[in-house]
Amino acid sequence: MKNFLTKNWMYRILALLLAIALFTYVKTERLSSTRFTGVHSNNNSILMSNKTSTITMPVDLDINNSQYIVTGYPAKVKIELSGPSALVATTVNTQNFKVYLGLRGLSTGTHKVSFKTSGLNKDLSAKVNPGTTKVTIAERKTESFDIQTRFDKNLVKKGYVVGTPQLSTLATTATGSVSDIEKISQVVADVSIPKDTKSDLHAQVMLQALDSRGYIVNVILSPQTINVTLPISKQSDKQKNDDKQSEASSTSSGQTSSSSTNQSN
């Protein structure tokens, strides 16, 4: 009888331990499942939430560039992208779309046109700022011009002279509207000479297209810059004599002119 009771208590204790272990296991599984569901739900919320970002994009032109030239439009614009956060972030990083002006079919002259986008995901919306711009379309022309060098020879050291300039190229092509090309009087390379220079000068110079009044004409030059060498050497005795004779001739001419004026008076 005693052994029977002892065995019953052992079974009861063992059953209790198993029940506690089972309860603990079930509780742990439920907690883990709840946590996973919460994390998964948060991730989905992040992916499905909307976002707005603004980036700066270059402006392309949809036009026959070999026939026409376009001026007046901004080189870059700001664009506001809205949509799913992940999609907006990816688009901002890759910038795999374009902003452009559709100009085909428009005549020469000034027009007000709207910016367009292409290559954007259909789930994204885009707003360009500014939304419109004015452009001027003109017939394109290209012409070649000889390059003229300009410098102040009086800045070299006394007793030294500047020889014939040596250019990496003697001509450049100017591209622009027909009216602008016709305005060009000369294309110049202005070389700056440091004071009291007495050795050859090497410089990279930017070219400028000028009209008859010396104003810059808005055209595209190719090349835009050239290399210029100014040979600077000591003045020879012959050059000194020529300069003296030239100065004497100038002085004599001035005196003769003055004398003639006085006689006429």
What pLDDT shows up at residue 19?
Answer: 65
Give the right CATH number for 141-236 from 3.40.50.300, 2.170.120.40, 2.60.40.10, 1.10.10.10.
2.170.120.40
What pLDDT shows up at residue 20?
Answer: 72
- pLDDT, one tens digit per residue, over 120-149 is 999 999 999 999 999 999 999 999 999 999
- pLDDT, one tens digit per residue, over 176-229 is 999 999 999 999 999 999 999 989 999 999 999 999 999 999 999 999 999 999
How far apart are alpha carbons 28 and 36 in whole angstroms? 12
- pLDDT, one tens digit per residue, over 18-34 is 667 666 765 566 655 54
Same fold, 50-130 and 141-236: yes
| Domain regions of the chain by residue span | 50-130, 141-236
Q: Which residue has the tokens 């992916």?
A: 47
Whether 124 and 86 have beta carbons less than 8 Å apart is answered as: no
Class of domain 50-130: mainly beta
How far apart are alpha carbons 57 and 75 in whole angstroms? 9
pTM: 0.61
What pLDDT shows up at residue 49?
Answer: 86
